[in-house]
Chains A and B, each alone.
Chain A
Amino acid sequence: MSASATRQEGWSKAPAIVDYGEGELLEVSMGPHHPSTHGVFRMDVTLQGEQITKLKPVFGYLHRNHEKLGEGQSYLASMPYTDRLDYICSLTNNWAYALAVEKLVGQEVPERAEYLRVIVGELTRVQNHALSVGFLIQDMGASGTPLMYAFKEREKILDLFESLTGSRMMCNYMRFGGCRVDATPAWLDEVRRVVAGLPKFADEFERLLCTNEILMARTQGVGVLPAELAMSAGVTGPMLRASGVNYDIRKVDHYGIYDRFDFKVPLGSHGDVYDRFMIRLLELRESIKILEQALRDIPDGPVMDPKAKIRNFRPKPGEAYGRIEAPKGELGFYLISDGSGNPYRYRVRPPSFVNLTVLEDMCLGHNVADVVLILGSVDIVLGEVDR
């Protein structure tokens, strides 16, 4: 089902700001404790009647000094901290960090480890997209049911993570030059079983949501993000692709082994909330395709490069910027080494933080109830926004 197949005509016009003449402006502070802000996030909204004339996001309520802590500890010690950046997708965070350090020291990764990374990375993407759609619809007022569907599937995937890495959420799985533990054949069979059930889940989810009249009425034409603005504002991930820009780092950088898989990059054409929501569902299906191929082709072999240095890990002076396509967008790590065991500078380029740049532009002229939806469609996680 393509993004535009179910689109109703007439919804796609962005509302203009209507001037009601004399009237008082109302300033509302949404958050930091607000059920819809996905954590502790605040928006200072100025309203004219119901319409938004100004919106300023306020960050920092979850600023946990990730970067400062990263400078004070060894390279490996930061790996479990990356789990807590975007705490829904810990494995892709691990991957981005491992990739950046591998770039810094010129480390190769064995074949099997690359496959395992793809498998866990795509499983993470599936559960993230399911959750973000669930939360979005929760914000729309459908409390419970869609989110429960999403969590049902997520629990299955978390069980897989737990049996592989030992933890449900904070997996701490990847190492510089491979992965921490190998997957057993039984685990791979279990993944195959779960992945075989995913298309059915996607169908069910889509049937429940995509043609729902209320959902279409509330999301189509809301929060339109033009492609030029999205590019200039550095928006990445499903949000960028919903605006019609074909930029998927898996296809652009070919990091890991992504050029071996056959998958498509879904693109939206309107850039509204509905497109962003549909892109996530379509990407979820593409991830299932990648998973099927990876599970078919996974070779035997070591999961850690035997030459990889673990003790006394001191990269030569230099710097590297490594990035991957995380479920929320481009997640990059920028490391500067001065030759010691700790990074001199440890910088995280969080996708959700940069994606929020355009929040005000998308919200202007809409009703205050739509802000909640637009924010939900950006798909933020505060651990990553504030770090």
Chain B
Amino acid sequence: MKTVEEIKAAIEAAVPGAGVEIVQNPGPAAQHSLLLQPEHAVDVAKFLRDDAELALTFLSNVTGVDWPDKEITEKVKVTKMVTKTVDGVEQQVEETVEEPRKRVEPGYLEVVYHLYSMTKKHGPVVLRMRTKNRTDAVELPSMTPVWRSAEFQEREIFDLFGVVFTGHPDLRRILMWEGFKDHPMRRDYVEPDDYDYEPTAHDAVLAKATAHQARIAEQKGAGQ
């Protein structure tokens, strides 16, 4: 099978301006992936499916991944005017100091597609698409018109992650009930507090347990 670089070149030849990037996978599996621009994604997908040599007719797996906003603390060199007493005289002196700066890297939702070829029996080719952010610009083009197998899997991602697939024929919640408001697979989802605890070895669970017990105690106190 072609390497990722060759596939990228083929895509760029077929879909001008596709702007595909390669995302390296540093692990031993070395399944590198192609990051698509949402505007051209459907064209690229059609090309991958219909190209005689690639013939990626089989979309196996669609995964949603949530990458929340990351707070990055880094040391930044800044030049400052400081007041100092030099030789008994107060002066303004320029000085370079290192200051920790907090920078928020915006998060995004990502959808990963694993493609195989049923006729040529090769694969996987991994495609990725990213939304602009996690709150309002969460639209991505749907791959269901190209591969039917995306139908339920994209609905699942809509349900659990909140990615809105434009062009999907029937985008509804699939696993949770209609009327449910949250997207539970997101990393910042807060579960309903209905959990009775036994001591476990997990710190996170123990913290939850303490909070739960406190709430129950509070309710009992209020009831009396």
Q: Do chains A and B touch in the complex (CB under 8 A)?
A: yes
Report the bound CA distance from A319 to B28 in whole Å.
Answer: 9
Whether B114 and A320, one on each chain, are in contact in the complex, defined by CB atoms closer than 8 angstroms, is: no
**Which bucket holds chain B's interface residue count?**
20 to 34
A contact residues around B114 at 8 Å (CB): 321, 332, 334, 349
How close is B99's CB to chain A, nearest CB, in angstroms? 28
How close is B10's CB to chain A, nearest CB, in angstroms? 21
Whether A320 and B31, one on each chain, are in contact in the complex, defined by CB atoms closer than 8 angstroms, is: yes
Task: Decide yes or no: A319 and B148 within 8 Å by CB, A231-B58, A332-B61 being known contacts.
Answer: no
Whether B29 and A104, one on each chain, are in contact in the complex, defined by CB atoms closer than 8 angstroms, is: yes
How close is A33's CB to chain B, nearest CB, in angstroms? 16
Q: Which of A65, A68, A229, A337 contacts B27 (CB 8 A)?
A: A337
Interface residues of A in 340-376 (CB under 8 A from B): 344-345, 347, 349, 353-354, 356-358
B184 at interface (Cβ–Cβ under 8 A)?
A: yes
Whether B27 and A234, one on each chain, are in contact in the complex, defined by CB atoms closer than 8 angstroms, is: no
- The stretch from B35-43, B86-94, B132-140, B170-178 touching chain A is B170-178
Interface residues of B in 95-154 (CB under 8 A from A): 112, 114, 118, 121, 124, 126, 147-149, 151-153
Q: Which of A60, A72, A323, A357 contacts B149 (CB 8 A)?
A: A357
B contact residues around A106 at 8 Å (CB): 27-29
How many A-B pairs have beta carbons closer than 8 Å: the answer is 108
Interface of B is mostly: loop
Task: Decide yes or no: A334 and B184 within 8 Å by CB, A63-B176, A247-B118, A357-B151 being known contacts.
Answer: no
Query: Contact string, A316-329, partner B, CB cutoff 8 A, digits 1/0?
Result: 11111101000000
B contact residues around A204 at 8 Å (CB): none
A233 at interface (Cβ–Cβ under 8 A)?
A: yes
B26 at interface (Cβ–Cβ under 8 A)?
A: yes
A386 at interface (Cβ–Cβ under 8 A)?
A: yes
Task: Decide yes or no: A318 and B26 within 8 Å by CB, A59-B174, A332-B114 being known contacts.
Answer: yes
How close is A73's CB to chain B, nearest CB, in angstroms? 8
Whether B174 and A354, one on each chain, are in contact in the complex, defined by CB atoms closer than 8 angstroms, is: no
Whether B185 and A68, one on each chain, are in contact in the complex, defined by CB atoms closer than 8 angstroms, is: yes
A contact residues around B31 at 8 Å (CB): 319-321
B54 at interface (Cβ–Cβ under 8 A)?
A: no
B contact residues around A234 at 8 Å (CB): 58-60, 147-149
Task: Decide yes or no: A232 and B177 within 8 Å by CB, A319-B25, A321-B124, A354-B153 being known contacts.
Answer: no
Interface of A is mostly: mixed
Report the bound CA distance from A236 to B149 in whole Å.
Answer: 11
Report the bound CA distance from A340 to B25 in whole Å.
Answer: 16
A202 at interface (Cβ–Cβ under 8 A)?
A: no
Whether B29 and A231, one on each chain, are in contact in the complex, defined by CB atoms closer than 8 angstroms, is: no
Whether B148 and A233, one on each chain, are in contact in the complex, defined by CB atoms closer than 8 angstroms, is: yes
B15 at interface (Cβ–Cβ under 8 A)?
A: no
A contact residues around B118 at 8 Å (CB): 231, 245, 247
Report the bound CA distance from A31 to B27 in whole Å.
Answer: 44
A142 at interface (Cβ–Cβ under 8 A)?
A: no
Whether B57 and A334, one on each chain, are in contact in the complex, defined by CB atoms closer than 8 angstroms, is: no
Q: Which of A233, A345, A356 contacts B63 (CB 8 A)?
A: A345
Other A-B pairs beyond A59-B175, A316-B26, A319-B25, 8, CB < 8 Å: A105-B28, A234-B149, A317-B26, A318-B26, A320-B28, A321-B124, A321-B126, A349-B61
- Residue ranges of B at the interface with A (Cβ–Cβ < 8 Å): 25-29, 31, 57-61, 63, 65, 112, 114, 118, 121, 124, 126, 147-149, 151-153, 173-177, 184-185, 202, 204
- Residue ranges of A at the interface with B (Cβ–Cβ < 8 Å): 59-60, 63, 65, 67-68, 72-73, 103-106, 229, 231-236, 245, 247, 252, 315-321, 323, 330, 332, 334, 336-337, 344-345, 347, 349, 353-354, 356-358, 386
Of the A-B pairs whose beta carbons lie under 8 Å apart in the complex, a sample of 9, sorted by A's number, is A72-B202, A104-B29, A252-B121, A317-B27, A318-B26, A318-B28, A332-B114, A354-B149, A358-B148
